[in-house]
Amino acid sequence: MNSESIHNQDKQNHSKSTQELIQLAIGIKKLQEINDYVGQVFCLSMANETPVLQKMLLDFFLWKSLKDEDAYWDIVWVLRYRGSYEVFEAASKLCESKNHNFRELGVQILAQLGTPKKDFSDESGVILLKLLENEENIDVVIAIAFALGHLKDSRGVAPLVKYKNHFRADVRESIVFGLLGQEDELAINALIELSADENQDVRNWATFGLGDMIETDTQAIRDALFQRMVDEKGDTDLEAEIRGEALLGLAKRKDKRVINLLIKELSGDDVGTLPVEAAREIRDSSLYPVLIELKEWWDVNSELLQEAIKNCSQEQM
């Protein structure tokens, strides 16, 4: 779908009533449910085809599914931005539906209803927490976790932590998102545990949550962040990002163990913004030489680099 067609679709949706948009979203949800079943049959039918044909057919099927997904989220965002009591009431009723797809739609609307002000955040939180108490569909649980994270609702900490050891990685990832920014000890302990998760995306979000999203400074948090530096030894972008989040979190807490790690990271051939941010935060003169060398070729964010150099210069010590 090109940008012009998306823009035209967006204008069309803005002109529709709330009930019309709800019905459109429900219709897409029904199609997606059919697509899920068709997709399973489709994959089984490809088993004996050549790899080339398998890839061609799979690309087409995924493209078709993503087109429906784009249309669905366009409708959800229009309803979120509309943010009226009428939308709140409609989304609330969806959360009471016997159909899990409709409940998921209601949750996704409430997650950021009235963006950016979120006028119904408290009321939405009450509905989501009540729904979570007895929700059996795991996709709805995931939606609720993300929603509580968007709403920054501290009431969600205890019920969300119960899912931190779920066997599905996408569930654990949603739980991390739901706990972001919470200074509660229960939330922090869960993030510490999940920062060592077997799944990279879960580790990444949890490390970000510990390092940059909270101000709490404990030895347990520092040790968890330092452990990421020890364990994330690969050269993939995601591993580098996890190390960067850990570096920044340690630097913000003025943990001197970060210095030698930072020198190594800043001396590499591919340096991201997070290590430079960490250098700016730690303000240590031993980083000055490597930052000057970095200045010779690093053009990602010259203003950030200059701030780091200034903070690590001898005059600032």
Query: pTM of this prediction?
Result: 0.84
The pLDDT tens digits for 200-221 are 999 999 999 999 999 999 999 9
Section 179-183 average pLDDT: 98
| Closest of 150, 133, 109 to residue 25, by C-alpha | 109
pLDDT higher for 99 or 163? 163
Within 83-213, residue ranges assigned H as helices are 85-94, 100-111, 121-134, 138-151, 157-161, 169-179, 185-194, 200-212
Amino acid 290: pLDDT:
97
Task: Say if residues 78 and 13 touch (Cβ distance below 8 Å).
Answer: yes
Q: What percent of the chain has pLDDT over 70?
A: 83
CB atoms within 10 A of CB 108: 25
pLDDT higher for 222 or 66? 222
Residue 231 CA neighbour count, 13 Å, CB half? 18
pLDDT higher for 71 or 64? 71
Greatest Cα-to-Cα distance within the chain, rounded to the nearest angstrom? 70
Task: Say if residues 107 and 95 touch (Cβ distance below 8 Å).
Answer: yes
pLDDT higher for 252 or 75? 252
CB atoms within 10 A of CB 169: 14
Quick one: pLDDT band at residue 8, thresholds 50, 70, 90?
Answer: very low
**Helix, strand and coil in the chain, % to nearest 5:** 75, 0, 25
CB atoms within 10 A of CB 8: 11
* Residue labelled with tokens 């490390």: 207
Does residue 5 carry a pLDDT above 60? no
**Eight-state DSSP code of residue 99:** S
* Helix (H/G/I), strand (E/B), else coil: 279: helix
pLDDT higher for 21 or 195? 195
**What ranges make up the beta strands (E) of the chain?**
none
E strand or H helix at 79:
helix 51-82
Amino acid 31: pLDDT:
67
Mutual angle of helices 51-82 and 3-14, in 10-degree steps = 40
Category of 214 on φ-ψ map: left (φ > 0), alpha (ψ -120 to 50) or beta: beta
The pLDDT tens digits for 253-309 are 999 999 999 999 999 999 999 999 999 999 999 999 999 999 999 999 999 999 999
